[in-house]
Amino acid sequence: MNTVTDPTDPTSLRTRSGLALHGVTLSYPDGEQRLTALDDVSLEVAPGEFVAVAGPSGSGKSSLLAVAATLLRPDHGQVLIDGQDAGALSERARTALRRERLGIVFQQSNLLASLTAVEQLLVLEDVRGRRPREARARAEELLASVGLAAAKQRRRPHQLSGGERQRVNIARALFGRPSVLLVDEPTSALDHERGAQIVELLAEVTRTHRTATVMVTHDRDLLTRVDRVLEMADGRLRG
Ligand code: ADP
Ligand code: MG
């Protein structure tokens, strides 16, 4: 959606869909001082593009996703989601933007222990107010599309493998039809083969759902399926 335009700059990213970060700096309190977690980071990801951010532990990868997810406000710089400047929005508008445009898969699985796989998606529906039968059909279809067969859709998280739980997380992130998909270390709890399958799945959903996808990882073996790899070191990003 072209919601913001900058007439002085015809190539402005503000007019584009997907995700853009411009000159983002983020620091955390650190005793008397501040620790710089992101240092002048810029990034653009177009719809249908799958970008990996690789870097060692502590390099700022999760901080980058938190800022892109509009969960943390940067000290400086801009975060644009489908051309909308997140920093210029009210808290309420930013929450709506997050809900309507962002899909987030966090490092730690945050599935609810008491709910079945299909219910993990339907519980989101309370917020979004679609028709129950329609919502259930869509949830089942999405779960099937990420490789979770009907019988497993009725299982609770502890009855699923780590890889299956990650598939539920991905389906849940896609349920709101996001334009930007943010994924933090999706394979950290999986063996290599299952990790590779999850990355393959992310490549596939990026294509079919046309999401601007950013996956952060410290596992370089998994980067064969992505369109681009950016390197993060000490809060700085390199192409
Ligand atoms: P990564 O995901 O690459 O491991 P993080 O973004 O989690 O990196 O962390 C980047 C730096 O910021 C690290 O030095 C980390 O210790 C620090 N950090 C992360 N979160 C916080 C926080 N909430 N408060 C203070 N420092 C933090
Ligand atoms: Mg991290």
Ligand 1: residues within 6 Å at CB? 28, 35, 37, 55, 57-63
Q: Which amino acid is at 77?
A: G
List of residues 6+ apart from 216 with CB closer than 8 A: 52, 53, 54, 55, 61, 62, 64, 65, 183, 184, 185, 232
pTM for this model (two decimals): 0.91
Please write the tens of the pLDDT for every residue from 120-177: 999 886 555 667 888 899 999 999 999 999 999 999 999 999 999 999 999 999 999 9
Atom of ligand 1 nearest to the CA of 30: 25
SS3 132: helix
Pairwise CA distance, residues 137 & 177, whole Å: 15
Fold of domain 13-107+178-238? Rossmann fold (3.40.50)
So where are the chain's domains? 13-107+178-238
- Region of 234 on the Ramachandran plot (φ > 0 left; ψ -120 to 50 alpha; else beta): left
C-alpha–C-alpha distance, residues 111 and 108, integer Å? 9
How far does residue 60's CA lie from ligand 1's centre (Å)? 6
Q: What is the pLDDT of residue 8?
A: 47
Which of 11-15, 44-48, 176-180 comes out lowest in average pLDDT? Answer: 11-15
- Provide the residue type at 37 as one letter: A
Atom number in ligand 1 closest to CA 28: 25
Nearest-CA residue for atom 12 of ligand 1: 37
Q: In the chain, what percentage of residues exceed pLDDT 70?
A: 91
Q: What is the pLDDT of residue 127?
A: 53
Whose CA is closest to 181, among 81, 109, 41, 58?
81
Q: What is the mean pLDDT of the chain?
A: 90
Q: Provide the pLDDT for residue 1.
A: 44
Is it the case that residue 41 has pLDDT exceeding 60? yes
Nearest-angstrom CA–CA distance, 204 and 98 = 23
Asked if pLDDT for residue 3 goes beyond 90, the answer is: no
The pLDDT tens digits of the residues spanning 188-239 come to: 888 899 999 999 999 999 999 999 999 999 888 889 899 999 999 999 998 7
With residues binned 3-state (H G I as helix, E B as strand, rest as coil), the percentages for the chain, rounded to 5, are: 40, 25, 35
Give the residue, out of 24, 33, 35, 220, with the most ligand 1 atoms within 8 A of its beta carbon, to mutate for a pocket test: 35
